[in-house]
Chain A
C-alpha cells in the first residue's frame, strides 16, 4: 500500500527518482499524445502503474486573446471569441455579446433571443458529440466516434446554412443578428430535433450497459460535492457530483426562464455519472430547441437597431443622411460604452463561461477577461488522478471535457 501523503512534488530537472523504499518514474504524457485532446502535457509520477502525482502543463496554444481584446474595438472581438473554444463557437459569441450588451444596457429583440438560444443549444449538442466521440475513442470504444461525428455534421450544416461557416461561426453580433434567418432553417432544425433522440438511443445502446465501458468509468475519478465546489468546478463536472448549479436555471439569461427543462444531476461523481449527465443534457437541449421553435415569432426584427451602440440597418444607411453618418462613425471609431465593469456568465457546454469587461469609456475594452470553464475544471485533474491507474488518466482527461484553445486562450 502506498502512502499518498508522502508523495513529493517532482521538480523539472528530476527525471527519475530512486530511493531505498520506492522507485518513482516520471512519465511525460503529451503534448502530442492523441488522448490529450490537443496540446495538453501531463507530467505523471508513477510507482508501478499507480499515479502518485500529476502536473498538467498547459500553455502550448496560448495566443493572448485577452491582450488582443485590449487592442480591438468591441465589435471586432467577436471573431476572436470563436477561436477560444472552437467546438462550440456560438456559445462563446453569445457570452461575449451578452456581456457587451449588459455593459451598454441594450437588449436584443425577442426573435433574436430565441434564435440565440437555439444556436447555443445546437452548439452544446455539437460540443457534447465531439466530447462523447473522443472520450469513448480514448477509452477504447472506437465506433461511437463514427456515429457522433455523423450527427455533428447535421448541426454544422445548420450553422453553414445560417452564417456560411461551420466551425468559427462569428454568427452573433452586439444587438442581435445582422443576417436574416434563412426560410428553410426552422425546417432543418425541426428535422434535426425529430431525428436526434433516436441517435442518442444509439449511443446509449453502445455505451450505457457496455461492460467494458462500465469497468473503465464506474468508480473512477470520484469527486465529492464539497470538493467539487472547493475546486470551483462548473458544468457537468459539478453536476455529476450532485451539486445543482446550472447558470440557465440559477441566473437565467436570454429567455431561459420561459423554457421548461430539467437539470440532470449525478449521484456518485465519477466518470460514468458525468457521462450520464452530459447525455441527458443533450436530450434536454433538444427539448429546449423544440420549445424555442414553438415560441419564436416568425417575423420581426433581429437587431436592436434603435440603439446608438448598434450599427444602423443597411436600408436607412443608403437612404438617410443621419444613419449614413452614424454608420461611418460606428465603423471608423466604434462605439463607446459607459464607464464601468460587468461580469456576464452563461452556461457553456463545458461549464460556466464568464466574460468580465472593464470599460473606461473608450471604444476599446480596457480589460477583457475570459473565465473559461475548462481552464478552471482542468485543475481538478491532479485530485482525480492521485492514486488512479495510468490508463485511467486517459479517461479522466476525457471526462473533464477540455478544449485546449479554451484552456490556453
Chain B
C-alpha cells in the first residue's frame, strides 16, 4: 500500500510564534526547496516568491500553472499531492494588470507542508485547468468560473455551480458587482419594487 498509510513523522519542536500554527517550510524564499526547484525547472515562468506570516507563495505565469503544479505533485522530494483549495481574487482595486489572481493551495500529506501557487490572469484570458491533475479541482474551478468569470481551458464541464444555470447578471464576486445586485426585486405588499442598485458600501481606507 502507499506510504501515506503509515504514520508520517512528526515535525521537530519549534519556537512557538503567534502565527506559527502550521508549518510551511523555510521562511526565506532562497532556502525553500519548492521555490528552488520551481525556479530551476521553470526559469521563464517563475515570477516571484513571497513570504508572509511564514506562508510561502510562488507566483508563476498563467500558461505554466498546470506544468508547475504537476511538477510539484510528481517531484519525488516535494510531493504536494493534495489540492486543498483553488480560488481567485479580483485585484481591481489594488493594481492595474492583471485583473485576477488564481490562488492554488497545495498540501503535501507525506511531508506535512503547505504551499500556495498563484498566477495572474486578465479578463478574457484563460487559465489551464487542473482537472487532469486533480479530480478535486472540478467543482473548485466551476465555482471560480461562476463567481469570477475566469475560464479554465481544458475543464470537462465548465458551467455555473452555485448560481442558477440561466443567471445573466454577471459574476458576483467581482469587485465591480454591486453588493445588492443589478436589478430591482418585487416587494410583496408594496407598490414599488425595492431598489437594488445603491452602489456598494463605502469602503473605509486605513
Contacts and interface: CB of A to CB of B under 8 A. Distances in A.
Nearest to A342: B53
A343 B164 CA distance: 29
A408 B18 contact: no
5 contacts: A243-B109, A244-B6, A245-B4, A342-B53, A409-B162
Given A225-B5, A352-B84, A343 B206 contact: no
B162 A358 contact: no
A107 interface: yes
A267 to B, nearest CB: 9
A358 B89 contact: yes
A64 B179 CA distance: 10
B134 A354 contact: no
A219 interface: no
B70 interface: no
A59 B162 contact: yes
Given A59-B164, A354-B84, A367 B89 contact: yes
A364 B179 CA distance: 14
A59 B157 CA distance: 17
A253 B5 contact: no
Interface in A1-15: 9, 12
A228 to B, nearest CB: 10
Contacts of B204: 333-334, 362-364
A409 B161 CA distance: 12
B139 A101 contact: no
Interface residues of A, number: 67
Contact of B18 (A66, A70, A107, A362): A107
Contacts of A227: 135
A80 interface: no
A86 interface: no
B52 A356 contact: no
Contacts of B21: 98, 102, 251-254, 344
Interface string A229-271: 1111110000000111100011111100000000001000000
Nearest to B7: A244
Contact of A230 (B1, B94, B134, B200): B134
Given A251-B23, A252-B21, 11 more contacts: A66-B173, A103-B53, A105-B18, A227-B135, A232-B82, A253-B21, A342-B53, A354-B105, A362-B204, A366-B93, A369-B87
